[in-house]
Amino acid sequence: MSKANQNYSTVDIFSIARNRQKINTTVAVSEMPELAGTIVDADACKPFEVQIEGTDGIKGLPAAILTVKGCVQMLCTRCTKPVEIAIDREVPFLFVKSEAEANRLPVDEDEEWEVVVGSEHLKVADWVQEEVILSLPTFPKHEDCEAPYSDHLQADMQEAIEEKPKPFANLRELLKKN
């Protein structure tokens, strides 16, 4: 049986898959430098809750479900203030021994499984980091906020449109002069 809530920096993913083991651990943002560089206030971020559970795969491959829960702050692309982004991701993985084996697998378009090269010393933080980064929104936004200068911007744009000279306005002026 697995020991719950222990700290695992590396895991033998093949053994977890084979033994249908379930592991609970946490990963701190400080262990995920790439993620830390993408978010704001990374020091205040609570460790991510991570569960890895060996499961029945397909195609005879070892499999596990990775669940990651946590919360990060990013800058809102509308009002530029920090916005909280909840991370709640559950991804089923199939593990192969090498890239070559991965490439030999038939490709199914509607496949929900992600195929990765597994390891007996899989770095949990690297794996989690990749999944968290993938789940971050490209344009983080509060559900309800306003851009600080949106009214002015819109007014300016309206003015710009109105001020745009009409192509024949000058011509008419010229004709009048002659």
φ, ψ dihedrals at 129, nearest 5° = -55, -45
Please name the residue that has the structure tokens 């560089």. 37
Max Cα distance, the chain (Å)? 98
Stretch that binds Zn ion, among 67-75, 122-130, 139-147, 166-174 (CB under 5 A): 139-147
Q: Is position 69 an interface residue for Zn ion (rule: CB under 5 A)?
A: no
Q: Is position 136 an interface residue for Zn ion (rule: CB under 5 A)?
A: no
- Parallel, antiparallel, or unpaired: how do β-strands 48-55 and 22-27 relate? antiparallel
Residue 111 has which token pair?
């496949």
Q: Compute the distance between CA of residue 95 and CA of residue 16 in angstroms, rounded to an integer.
A: 11
Q: Compute the distance between CA of residue 31 and CA of residue 28 in angstroms, rounded to an integer.
A: 6
Q: Is position 142 an interface residue for Zn ion (rule: CB under 5 A)?
A: yes
Stretch that binds Zn ion, among 47-55, 105-113, 136-144, 155-163 (CB under 5 A): 136-144
State in angstroms the smallest separation of the CB of 38 from Zn ion: 18
Among 75, 134, 145, 157, binds Zn ion (CB under 5 A): 145
Residue number with CB closer to Zn ion (33 or 148):
148
Q: Is position 78 an interface residue for Zn ion (rule: CB under 5 A)?
A: yes
Contacts to Zn ion by CB under 5 A: 76, 78-79, 142, 145
